[in-house]
Structure 1
Amino acid sequence: MKKLFSFLAIIAIVLASNCSRIPENNDPVIGIWSRVDVINSSETNKLTIRQEWIFNDVYLGRYQKYNGSHLDFKTDFSWIEDDGVYTISYPGTDMINDIVSMKESPEGMLLEDLKGAILAKRE
């Protein structure tokens, strides 16, 4: 009798685990987006600032800011999509939320804010 109950318990566990699938997120924003700004600090010195957003499929990501080759700042972010508009939130920081949408251009896919300024380009 114990073997029958054990067998039924194993079958119940297998059936219950098959019912709880995580839906797949195929949002087109998933991937690496970056922005590079070059600032001329003098005639001979150029300062390169690179910002990078890495979006993953569980509505989270990582933001990193490089000053030249030095990692200046990094934090995690969360994102949501509502009718083609993405809101990027940086909890635990004083950074304001970025509200952007994807646009296609001759340069590639871009993230633009509501005023049309480019936040990042897909890598």
Structure 2
Amino acid sequence: MKKFFSLLAIITLISVSNCTRLPENDDPVLGIWSKTEISAVEDRMSSSIEKEEWIFNDAYLGRYHQYSQETLTFSTDFKWTVDNGVYSIVYGEESIEDTTVIINMDDDPEQLEFADGGIFALRE
């Protein structure tokens, strides 16, 4: 009898695990988006490079990175949702303001834009 219940438990576990698959997400926002700002330092005749990077994955999660002169200075996770083409980005860090953007696939490279048309990030 123990063998029967063990077999039944194994079959139940296999059945449940096969039914809990996440649907495939092929949203156009998936991938890496970035914004780079280069500012000249007048005193030294050099430049400062600041870069922000958003990595969107298919589980509606992502990773945000800030770089200064190619050195990682800050990193945090974020969650994202999409509703009628409007993407909401909610950061895990309270010091960063949550953002809503839309995707513009007409330009090359593709752009994430604020509602007023300002550029948020470009696809890498």
Counterparts of 1:120 and 1:6, CA distance in 2: 54
- C-alpha distance in structure 1 between counterparts of 2:12 and 2:38, whole Å: 60
The DSSP-based 3-state class of the residue aligned with 1:16 is helix
Deviation at 1:39, TM superposition (A): 0.7
Give how far 1:72 is off.
1.8
1:76 shift after superposition: 1.1
- In structure 1, the residue matched to 2:47 is 46
Per the TM alignment, residue 106 of structure 1 is displaced from its structure 2 partner at its CA by 3.6
CA distance in 1, matches of 2:51, 2:120: 12
Match of 1:17 in 2: 17
Give the Å deviation of 1:15. 1.8
Cα separation, 2, equivalents of 1:63 and 1:20? 29
User: Corresponding residue for 1:120?
Assistant: 121
Once the two structures are TM-superposed, the CA of residue 19 in structure 1 deviates from its matched residue by 1.8
* Worse overlay, 48-57 or 6-15: 6-15
User: What is the CA deviation profile of residues 3-37 of structure 1, one whole-angstrom value per residue up to 9, with x for unaligned ones?
Assistant: 33332232222222222222222111111001111
Residues 13-66 of structure 1: CA deviation (Å, up to 9, x unaligned): 222222222222211111100111111121721111111000111111111111
Between the aligned partners of 2:94 and 2:46, the Cα distance in structure 1 is: 31
Matched, 1:37 2:20: no
Unaligned runs of 5+ in 2: none
Q: How far has the Cα of 1:92 moved from its partner?
A: 2.6
CA distance in 2, matches of 1:75, 1:32: 15
AA at the equivalent of 1:8 = L
The answer to whether the aligner puts 1:76 opposite 2:44 as a matched pair is no
The number of aligned residues is 123
TM-score by length of 1: 0.89
Q: TM-score, normalised by structure 2?
A: 0.89
Aligned twin of 2:8: 8
CA distance in 2, matches of 1:64, 1:38: 17
Residue identity (%): 45
Structure-1 residue corresponding to 2:92: 91
**Structure 1: any 5+ residue segments left out of the alignment?**
none
The 2-side partners of 1:9 and 1:53 are apart by: 43
Supply the AA of the counterpart residue of 2:72. Answer: L
